[in-house]
Amino acid sequence: MDVVVVDYGMGNLRSVSKALEAVGAPTVVSRDPARVRDARALVLPGVGAFGDCMANLEAYRLLDAVRDVALSGRPFLGICLGYQLLFDEGEEFGRHPGLGVLKGRVVRFPHDLVDGGVRAKVPHMGWNRIRKAAPTPVLAEVPDGSHFYFVHSYYPVPEDPDVVATTTEYGFPFASSVARGNLFACQFHPEKSQKVGLALLRGFWKMAKGEAGTPRR
């Protein structure tokens, strides 16, 4: 069983696929809508602007295929912008519809953000800590309080607090990952987060093979 990484022209595909292969997951990078739709396990990475990524998914006829897999209950991993696109709407450079898999909006960190008593930089860039909000099989091997690598100016605000898997503090706590069934998506970059990132990807691969614990909800 291959893990399919979606190629829509706006993702760090090589580093994501190499990290998955490092934990034993056979990986295929594809922009073929039929290949994506039939994937047993799918990864949606993303780097760039929300509206541009949605436009590229549509241009490559991948929009419905990605949405269908995300709603199907099959193992699905969203990374960074691939996390944000799952929500109803993003406000980066105007208002843009997302995939609508999860209810909520993607908003920008405030310009006057203060973290730890000092003015915080936006984008939020570098290592930061996650706090587990609820047990999640993908994070079974990741200790609570682990540091992951972030690069982003926008973050999702889920309408349903029960989908929040982890929070991270940057001026205030925000949802740094979500989990629902076999879907897991994170704002941080596991492929750039060394040992804990590989532990997360190993957890996803175990879930894809049916070897992880019971998925959330």
191 is catalytic: yes
Q: What is the pLDDT of residue 41?
A: 97
Statement: residue 212 has pLDDT above 80: no
Statement: residue 215 has pLDDT above 80: no
Statement: residue 211 has pLDDT above 90: no
List the domains of the chain with CATH numbers: 3-208 (3.40.50.880)
Q: What is the pLDDT of residue 94?
A: 85
State the catalytic residue, choosing from 58, 89, 191, 211.
191
Q: What is the pLDDT of residue 213?
A: 66
91 is catalytic: no
Mean pLDDT in residue range 105-133: 93
Kindly indicate the confidence band of residue 46, based on its pLDDT and cuts at 50, 70 and 90.
Answer: confident
For residue range 176-193, list pLDDT tens digits in order.
999 999 999 999 999 999
Mean pLDDT, the chain, rounded, equals 94
C-alpha triplet 39, 40, 44: angle, nearest 5°: 60
State the catalytic residue, choosing from 53, 89, 189, 211.
189
E-assigned strand segments in 96-162: 96-97, 102-108, 114-115, 118-119, 124-129, 131-132, 147-152, 154-158
53 is catalytic: no
For residue range 133-173, list pLDDT tens digits in order.
999 999 999 999 999 999 999 999 999 999 999 999 999 99
CA 10/CA 58 separation, integer angstroms: 13
Mean pLDDT in residue range 103-123: 92
State the catalytic residue, choosing from 53, 80, 92, 124.
80
Residue 201 has φ and ψ, to the nearest 5°, of -65, -35
Mean pLDDT in residue range 38-52: 92
Q: DSSP assignment of 25-36, as one string? A: --EEEE--HHHH
Mean pLDDT in residue range 29-40: 96
Distances (CA, A) of 124 to 73, 113, 150, 205: 31, 10, 7, 28
Kindly indicate the confidence band of residue 71, based on its pLDDT and cuts at 50, 70 and 90.
Answer: very high
CA 101/CA 131 separation, integer angstroms: 24
Would you say 31 and 66 are in contact if contact means Cβ atoms under 8 Å apart?
no
Kindly indicate the confidence band of residue 214, based on its pLDDT and cuts at 50, 70 and 90.
Answer: low
Q: What are the residues whose beta carbons fall under 8 Å from the beta carbon of 129, sequence distance 6 or more?
A: 145, 146, 147, 168, 169
For residue range 5-18, list pLDDT tens digits in order.
999 987 789 999 99
Task: Specify the residue for token string 């609820």.
Answer: 134
Q: What is the pLDDT of residue 35?
A: 96
Q: What is the pLDDT of residue 12?
A: 81
Q: What is the pLDDT of residue 169?
A: 97
